[in-house]
Amino acid sequence: MVLRIQCTDRVGLVASIAGVLSAINVNILSMREHVDTAQNRFFIRLVTAATVAETDSETLTHQLQQVLPASAEITVNPSPKKKIILLVTKEYHCLSDILIRNHFKTLQASVQCVIGNHSSLQDICERFGVPFHLVSHEAKDREIFEKELTAVINQYQKDYLVLAKFMRILSAPFIAQFPHKIINIHHSFLPAFIGANPYRQAFERGVKLIGATAHFVTNDLDEGPIIAQQIIPVTHSFTAADMMKAGKEIETAVLAKALQLVLDDKVFVYGNKTVVVD
């Protein structure tokens, strides 16, 4: 059983949680906790020896609520295998990596479908037996386009939407349907070089490090809570094309890492930040 709790901090929280579990004869196998002292916020993720079948989630939640601060966010037994929907445009590197992981069952999730605003990536989806839906944005205003997107998305069960190089800006009403459930990979080490053409911007600035950022999508473009970031060194000998090639490799790695963390329920979101208990 996995147990996740986020609440206001106070003395004795770990002891209180352990006491509840001990009283029902549940052994703790691992525990990671964090306190944000500036926000007085407590986070904990526990793995126990109890199985899902042995756990009455509602009863345990009620028992924990009796010893935790009011408004504590408690999740017992989050789904061990999530369902995700991928949104793509034309770039294949992130999509192909996820499809391979999905095919060999190392993703800790099931890809329900892929939605593209171009048909460029339909063939690779079909090769892996994953449904592909074309929802073109051409000759449509954003509201109509997003209604069509939503109609396809709602045909499937889903825990998260993954923007695997989906090159369209989503509106606030669309994002509001999936709070902290849309994951994006950005081709830059945020907050530097936001928006389009980051590798050209980086080349012109003469940077010596480039990177990628995976984050949850909010109304503020490329400024949502950050899940994972990585950087790699570059030199004066790199052209903009060289940077782009290296950037695609790091984008793939960062998105894979972010998905691993989120799908394993190791990421807490609060405000515009995350706590990652890896």
Other CB atoms within a 10 A radius of the CB of residue 36 amount to 15
Q: Omega before 80 cis (within 30°)? A: no
CA–CA dist 72, 64 (Å, integer):
9
Q: Alpha helices, DSSP H only, in the chain?
A: 13-23, 57-67, 93-103, 122-127, 142-153, 172-176, 198-205, 240-263
274 contacts 225 by C-beta, under 8 angstroms: yes
Handedness of CA 199, 193, 97, 165 (dihedral sign): negative
Judge contact between 165 and 93, C-beta under 8 A.
yes
Q: How many CA atoms lie within 13 A of 199 on its CB side?
A: 17
- Give the list of residues 6+ apart from residue 214 with CB closer than 8 angstroms, or none: 183, 184, 185, 186, 226, 227, 228, 229, 254, 255, 257, 258, 259
The answer to whether the CB of 267 falls within 8 A of the CB of 274 is yes
Phi, psi of 189 (to 5 degrees): -90, 90
> How far apart, in whole angstroms, are the C-alpha atoms of residue 216 and residue 189?
15
Residues marked as catalytic: 222
**Consecutive H or E run containing 115:** strand 109-116
